[in-house]
Structure 1
Amino acid sequence: MSFMDPGNVVWFEISTADGQAAKDFYGPLLGWSFAVDPDSSVGGVTYTRIMAPGMPYPMGAVYENSRSPEETINASIVSSDVAADQDRLEKLGATVVVPATQVSDVTAFGRMADLRGNVFSLFQNDQTPERLKDFAEQGQAQMQEMAAKPVPGSFAWFEIGTTDAESTEDFYRRAFGWRIEQDKSAGGKPYSNIFTGNPWPSGGLYDHGADGVDYLMPAFLVLDVPATAERAQQLGATVEFGPDANPDGLVYARIIDPRGNRFGLFSAPVDAPTPASTDEQVTA
């Protein structure tokens, strides 16, 4: 399966009216570096690529629009036709937040909200088949590298929290063909792994029950979740949940950043196998 096949979660975006505030928070917290896309700085809009420490290629972006009060952080899902997918997902109960928009001669995107109001993006690449093949192979190699040698600060998971697991699972299965299976390593927690097409999971679904919270958030790999969560608080964030741990040693927390956006932190079990010795991988 190609990295760029429809249904894969390949990117995340922070949409904000204050890009510098986002950089001032996430840069010190996760070691990110930033590079402005020179072709995007038009009409008060700036698109800034985000790189994990030591990585030469981006994993996400800050979308700054000084004229918009929108504050979101969302995962981006590959689409073969954003407009057609938006029509199809509307019939499943989703809502169009930003209609399909052509942003260059090779890229289109749109934003939607699922049945629980969680925002996600659809991303379409319209490069020629030859260039798209090269891009997909390069992206796959990059993700393989990141999985084999995990980089702290990287976008390495996504998580859906839900107050209605049945309808949420049904929506994403029908929307993108995702396979959702109970995570037997979660120590009895109502947690399921999400397979977006690969033989390894790339995200998870947490059933919080009727009194819980709904979200769709990116999660970032760190070496020390408690220390990083404490640092996030010092930078103005709120720890919404955790740190908590699974029986296998995985530690995680859920954070609300100073602009009100939710994201996750996690550290892998110390003795977790890597793709160098197994088919299991951690990748977005």
Structure 2
Amino acid sequence: MGFMDPGNVVWFEISTADGEAVKEFYGSLLGWSFAVDEDSSVGGVTYTRIMAPGMPFPMGAIYDNAHSPVEATNVSIVSADVAAAQERLEALGATAVVPATRVCDVTTFARVADPRGTVFSLFQNDQTPERLREFAERGQEQMAETAARPVPGSFAWFEIGTADADATRSFYADAFGWRFVFDDTAGGKPYHNVFTGRPWPSGGMYDLGERGVDYLMPLFLVLDVPATTAEAERLGATVEFGPDANPDGLVYARIVDPRGNRFGLFSAPTTTQHA
């Protein structure tokens, strides 16, 4: 399965009314660099690409709209036809938050809430086959480089938190063909690895139990989770969970940034695996 095949999670966005505050926080915490996308910055919105340290290819973006009523972070899932996918997901119980919308001539996106209210994006790129192939190859190369030589600050995992694991698993399996496999390296935690079509997992599902609050968030690779978590707190963030360690050495924390957006941090386990 290729990088840009439907069902893959390939991007994340931070929607905010204060892009400068977002850049200051994550730039200080994770060393991100930023570049404004002039083609996508229209109608009072500034669209800013996000790069991990030393990586030339963007991994996400800041959607900066001073009139935005809601702060949100969501991951983007590749779709071959966003409008058709939106209709199919609505039949599965999802709700369109932002219906299929065409932007900058080559991109169509939609924001969708799953049946439990968790929001994610659908993403379709209609560039020429040659340009799309180049985009996919660059993304694949960056993924391979990150897997072989993990880059601190990179978007390397996604996580679904749910208070109803059966309903969540059923929806995403039907929606995208995702496969959920219990993680027996997590020390008994109710955690499942999520396979989106590749031979290795690219995300996970955490069964939070009945009192949990559902979410879908990006996770960023760091070298020292406790130290980075402490720095996030110093910069005004709130720690929801962790830092916590698995028996294999993976360390994890779940954090809410000063604007109210949720993200995760993790460091690689003792035995390096694909992210």
Q: Same fold (TM over 0.5)?
A: yes
Instruction: Name the SS for the 2:39 alignment partner.
Output: coil
CA distance in 2, matches of 1:169, 1:96: 20
Structure 2 gaps of 5+ residues are: none
Separation in structure 1 between the aligned mates of residue 29 and residue 131 of structure 2, nearest angstrom: 35
**CA deviation profile, 1:214-263 (whole Å, cap 9, x unmatched):** 10000000011111111111111100000001001100000011111110
Aligned to 1:70: 70
Structure 2 distance, partners of 1:231, 1:112, is 33
Structure 1 residues 156-165 or 42-51, which shifts more?
42-51
TM-score, structure 2 normalization: 0.98
Give the AA of the match of 2:136.
Answer: A
Q: Could you tell me how far 1:82 is from its partner in structure 2?
A: 0.6
CA distance in 1, matches of 2:58, 2:257: 21
The aligned residue for residue 23 of structure 1 is: 23
Structure-to-structure mapping, 1:30-179, within 5 angstroms: 30-179=30-179
Number of aligned residues: 275
Query: Once the 2 structures are TM-superposed, how far is the Cα of residue 148 of structure 1 from its aligned partner?
Result: 0.9
Runs of 4+ in structure 1 displaced over 4 angstroms? Answer: none
Q: CA deviation at 1:100?
A: 0.7
Runs of at least 5 residues in structure 1 that lack an aligned partner in the other structure: 274-279
SS in 1 for 2:38: coil
- Residue 213 of structure 1: CA displacement? 1.9
Amino acid at match of 1:204: G
Partners of 2:40 and 2:104 within 8 A in 1: no
Distance in 1, Cα, partners of 2:23 & 2:133: 32
Q: How far apart are residue 134 of structure 1 and its match?
A: 2.5
Retained in 1: the 8 A contact 2:109–2:124?
yes
- What is the identity, as a one-letter code, of the residue corresponding to 2:156? A
User: Which residue identity is paired with 2:271?
Assistant: A
Correspondence 1:232 to 2:232: yes
Distance in structure 1 (CA, Å) of the matches to 2:268 and 2:222: 8
Structure 2 counterpart of 1:26, which letter?
Answer: Y
Tell me the TM-score normalised to structure 1 length.
Answer: 0.95
Once the two structures are superposed, residues 120-172 of structure 1 have per-residue CA deviations (whole angstroms, 9 ceiling, x without a partner) of 01000112223222321222112111111100000000000000000000000
User: 1:272 maps to which residue?
Assistant: 271
Amino acid in structure 1 at the alignment position of 2:4: M
Secondary structure of residue in 1 paired with 2:40: coil
Amino acid paired to 2:274: Q
1:180 is matched with 180
CA distance in 1, matches of 2:23, 2:131: 31
Which residue is equivalent to 1:260?
260
Alignment match, 1:277: none
Partner Cα distance (1:40, 1:107) in 2: 10
Q: Is the 8 A contact 2:221 2:267 kept in 1?
A: yes
Give the CA deviation at 1:41.
2.8
- By how many angstroms is 1:206 displaced? 0.4
Report how far residue 105 of structure 1 moved: 1.7
The amino acid of 1:53's aligned partner reads: P
Q: Look up the match of 1:250.
A: 250
SS of alignment partner, residue 15 of structure 2: strand
